[in-house]
Structure 1
């Protein structure tokens, strides 16, 4: 099958990097670009060979020139761009977070259902070797039922632009990955959470750059998360350091390395694809054809071609959005508990 023609909407700092990703991908051709800054759009179009459009409406006037839309605008513009594209019958891939509010997310989902066109969220941290390996090990029951998870995320990035001015930059932008991984990689569904956020004096952010989060999940599992974008100590990878503990043992996931410690000696002997070292199993990472955003695009294309729902379909990802918004709400109220709804209840509004 020939390449699918992609219309990209948004070419800010992150959107500009998407231009290169799309061009490197197999199965997509960058056919059009839309941005609020038409001069920058024109320059990008000249560099990539795509066609520049001043607005999404102008691009959709020639809807037959495109097979799908990539939405990389600021979150407050996700809904109008995605809904217009879906109404035109075009599948959409939306940069995380899905939307700034649950109402906007529901509107996107309704537009997808009305048109029959796919709507997917780019959760690129799922599409990497280490999280894929952890996801498989948990699904296979290697450590039994997961009952407690400890996550530590420490970085000191020097950002420019909107992130520096956000009220809660870590919760809305940085933690969005780990919060989604709680659901998509570990397989837990949060039910109640408590969060507190603060900003150390040396932080480069106007809003709170540090967070502590306590999450209760369906079935009784508990997740404790600590993170900072203003760390003065040893930093972690962008995935964070994970300690996932189950009935039979624990998975440690750090810096693209995965080890398992079992409670039983017999389990350490018979785990395929792992090497024992002093009672700890060092696990080889699963092989992937492509990772990160290239993996996202590959999943998006598979879904379009096959007609099946993608892994990070908006109907599922509204649960990850709710987790972000609930963390925000609790942090704004100094750690008050916030109850989360089931996916069915969320979709029902």
Structure 2
């Protein structure tokens, strides 16, 4: 499952919006990657992005597979809006292209399950860029976790006051849906455990400039028995935390804290292993994708693994709406039923039906 080349990995970038431009700069800066084309439904936007980046002669188009075939690309980087993740990635996988996609894996867990099955059917990898895993301090914090003995609790405080304008200020759950997946995904990674259940409350302070709930508090039971707690707000001016949040991890043999920006601090007797620098943000994610395809190195965001991070978001939103504790397996089961009802491809539907259970399919 490799690109089969010793030279730079030729990729087509899909999406020329704000994040697309960030990925464009990252691709151009990576000597192990070569930009084959840029795709956007707004062709003028794709062309303008290339001109601004100083590479006006790179191929453009409105269809990712067509441009990838025309340019001899070897992989596709999908940076479209979440609603387009499923159709763009599905088409790419069935055309024989590995895909690196922006988070979330898809708009819904059901679509994420469809993409996991599509990856199985095609044999093509779909990797999701959870870019906040690519941070040397995260790796140091994870190494510290390994010397704390049995882990009892992990917590994140996240308080920011961004004024985005646009769609985020109109969402029903802007904090949980658009931001918290970063912290939820890191919690899985740091605890090396999967979500079992969640109780969540969300609300909107009187001074909020968001239409939906900009504040939330959630407690997850994890498969290890540990609890992960998240409290945050996107309308909290003053004493703001890092965009990564402020973290505390407690175990039988001590604790570790991380302010989200600087090196984490360990208060325990053990000596953690040296942490490997994975690169920073989307640059680290892109480098890992290339190394996965060309050298077979591990990548932590394979689609099956990543779906559980989105399931944490859906479970938290459901809990906030119902006022009840929500089992993640119930969310997964309903998503599986929805995926089967919505699936347009018989081969993907057959793969979904063949799973012994959703959780087993995602974690095997």
Structure-2 change in CA distance of 1:289 and 1:74 (3 Å): closer
Q: How does 1:52-201 map to 2 (within 5 A)?
A: 52-62=60-70, 65-138=72-145, 141-201=146-206
Partner of 1:29: 34
Separation of aligned partners in 1, 2:248 and 2:169: 30
Partner of 1:338: 326
**Preserved contact between residue 35 and residue 54 of structure 1 (Cα < 8 Å):** yes
Q: Indicate yes or no: 2:251 matched with 1:243.
A: no
Separation of aligned partners in 2, 1:288 and 1:214: 30
Separation of aligned partners in 1, 2:215 and 2:174: 9
Separation of aligned partners in 2, 1:152 and 1:216: 17
**Preserved contact between residue 68 and residue 76 of structure 2 (Cα < 8 Å):** no
After superposition, what is the alpha-carbon deviation per residue over 1:188-236, rounded to whole angstroms, capped at 9, x for unaligned? 2221101111112322322211110011112321122101111123111
Partner of 1:51: 59
| Alignment gaps of 5+ in structure 2 | 1-5, 333-354
**Preserved contact between residue 318 and residue 346 of structure 1 (Cα < 8 Å):** no
**Preserved contact between residue 102 and residue 130 of structure 2 (Cα < 8 Å):** yes
After superposition, what is the alpha-carbon deviation per residue over 1:33-78, rounded to whole angstroms, capped at 9, x for unaligned? 111211111222344342110223532552x621111111111110
Partner of 2:294: 305
Separation of aligned partners in 2, 1:302 and 1:177: 23
Separation of aligned partners in 2, 1:272 and 1:22: 33
Decide which of 291, 303, 326 is 1:314's aligned counterpart. 303
Normalised by the length of structure 2, the TM-score is 0.85
**Preserved contact between residue 128 and residue 302 of structure 2 (Cα < 8 Å):** yes
Partner of 1:278: none
**Which of the pair is proportionally richer in strand?**
1
Q: Count how many residue pairs are aligned between Structure 1 and Structure 2.
A: 328
Partner of 1:271: 271
Separation of aligned partners in 2, 1:326 and 1:215: 10
**Preserved contact between residue 136 and residue 279 of structure 2 (Cα < 8 Å):** no
Normalised by the length of structure 1, the TM-score is 0.88
Q: CA deviation at 1:310?
A: 2.1
Report runs of 4+ in structure 1 exceeding 6 Å deviation: none
SS at match of 1:110: helix
| Alignment gaps of 5+ in structure 1 | 274-284
